[in-house]
Copies of this chain bind each other. A is one copy, B any other.
Amino acid sequence: MANEKMKITLPYLLYTGDADATFGAKTAEGVLHWCPDQCVAQRTLPGGSLDLGIPTMSLEEAFDAGARTVLIGVTNRGGIYPTQWTDDLVQGLEIGYDIASGLHDRLRDQPALMEAAEKYGRQLHDVRHWTGGPIPLATGEKREGKRALMVGTDCAVGKKFSALAVHRALLEKGANATFRATGQTGVLIAGEGVAIDAVPADFIAGAVEMISPANTADHWDVIEGQASVLHPSFSGVTLGLVHGAQPDAMILCHEPGRKNVRRLSNRPMPSIEETIIAHEQAAKVTNPACKVVGVSLDTHRMSEADAQAAVKQIGAETGLPTTDPIRFGASVLADAILKMT
């Protein structure tokens, strides 16, 4: 069954199968953290030892309780699909579930799952792969509505969490705002979006234009960021994202104390200042007025005192509202964004 729009039917049954501690459950944990109301239950198979701290149910019980998509909640090294789950998942498709997965291996490469999905008219969502219909090429033409984009000094500096926290803070202030997912876990949290690192290179900016369409003038899209225009491995993804997003405001995300670019031990981190300059220059191509308006720090490896000191120091150095949105709240970032209205 083709998935034309990567629009996932919520809520979820979080599925960890027979996984044990050798698996990570970051996907399920991320979804549970940001949308607990969309997680009806968890399901394990005999031998499984992961516990997400929500009720454990059978496929039938969770379906009766409202769950409509089985979310493969675990990742192993290599993102390999555990074939011993197939019989159980086929039963899920028969009961009426769709299935969503962020694994590298595709659900739709499992013949038994494909056959059952076709037979029962269900969707298989491989969010790490673009399997929807054609993506239009980007036009760069101005569209109505406002957009805030997370950018950063590196990968894994809290862009997804910052976007979600800023989105929530905007809603709390009464603003009209939508979170727009550009990565696999973000797509699973939002129930829609495109993992833009997986689309053919020509369509990066077009995918972002597609998921952040024209809107009312007072509406803010809060768009998940990816990598950095200064990252030698993934800069193309970031630049396409910046140009497609046409941001009015950007939030710079950073982990204080990181010495080298993640997984590139020979490459020192770029400074916050040069990262801000590079992203503002890039953004000018589709919105000359765009500015970095705030800094979001990931201080989860630091003590409370060190985190406070880092927020104060980087705020002073940049002259921008600075916070760790998870630790100290995202209110100042939401205020900075709303000033650009």
Contact = CB atoms under 8 A, between A and B. Distances in A.
A257 interface: no
A329 B230 CA distance: 36
A264 interface: yes
A233 B244 CA distance: 8
Nearest to A237: B201
A266 interface: yes
Interface in A251-268: 264, 266-267
Contact of A196 (B201, B230, B235, B281): B201
By CB atoms of chain B within 10 A, which of A200, A201, A205, A243 has the most? Answer: A201
Q: How many chain copies does the complex carry?
A: 2
Contact of A141 (B140, B200, B266, B281): B266
Contacts of A204: 201, 236-237
A272 interface: no
A286 interface: yes
Looking at chain A, what size class is its interface with the partner chain? 35 or more
Contacts of A138: 232-233
A229 interface: yes
Nearest to A241: B236
Contacts of A233: 137-140, 202, 205-206, 243
A285 to B, nearest CB: 5
A239 B281 CA distance: 14
A197 interface: yes
A238 B214 CA distance: 26
